[in-house]
Amino acid sequence: MQCPETVIYIPNFITSDEERQILAAVASAPKPKWTQLLNRRLINYGGVPHKNGMIAEQLPKWLQTYIDKINNLGILEDKKANHVLVNEYQPGQGIMPHTDGPLFHPVISTISCGSHTVLHLQKTSATVEDVQMCEILVEPRSLLLIKDDAYHNYLHSIEECSQDIIGEHVANLSLCENNHELGTVLTRSCRISLTIRHVPKTSKMQIKLGF
């Protein structure tokens, strides 16, 4: 399966120092900021997206460098990033096939830190008998962009496993920082991802006091 043209992989998007700074900032986040799911935990910065609109919250200063990097790419067109989702994936954790849907401007930009993972892409229209999978090896410090056709018409997922085998469906090997032969086994460690997006429908919190 050929990788959709609207999936873009950029190795070494951030430096090793920036990666360490991100990991340290996430590690120091207070426990109440985290939302615990069945298979991973996450933090919403900027607000919690909702179909009725996201109540906008101030983004922490340490994130501004990476938000600026995304805004400066111009991939959000005339929009600016206003939401960052931090996901923590321990070895063996993943995420089921899904699309991000209409809550967001149709561009996903994800910076990875700490460990590699393998992202699986499959067409939403594929039948069980005709599932064709494209895989992206996502390295630490890389940026992965999913937009337009790939955003709307492909499911993305991460398998729940502790190791990944580099196979013929990995579409971005020629772009990766490190050379990997087919059959190479990569062992996962803890991965932190920053998914930086624009939420179109937002509102500011209004406190009404009655006397």
- The DSSP letter of residue 172 is -
- In this structure, are residues 113 and 19 in contact, taking their beta carbons and an 8 Å threshold? yes
* Beta-strand runs (E) in 37-115: 41-45, 54-55, 83-89, 95-98, 107-113
CB 151 within 8 Å of CB 99? yes
pLDDT at 1: 58
pLDDT band, very low/low/confident/very high, at 204 (cuts 50, 70, 90): confident
- The answer to whether 17 touches 10, Cβ cutoff 8 Å, is no
What's the Rg (C-alpha) of the chain? 18
Average pLDDT over residues 183-194: 98
**Local confidence band at 203 (pLDDT 50, 70, 90 cut-offs):** confident
List Cβ neighbours of 70 (8 Å cut-off, separation of 6 or more): 76, 81, 109, 196
- Regarding pTM above 0.85, the answer is yes
Can you give the pLDDT at residue 129? 52
pLDDT digit string (tens) for 41-98?
A: 999 999 999 999 999 999 999 999 999 999 999 999 999 999 999 999 999 999 999 9
Give 6-22 pLDDT, tens digit per residue: 999 999 999 999 999 99
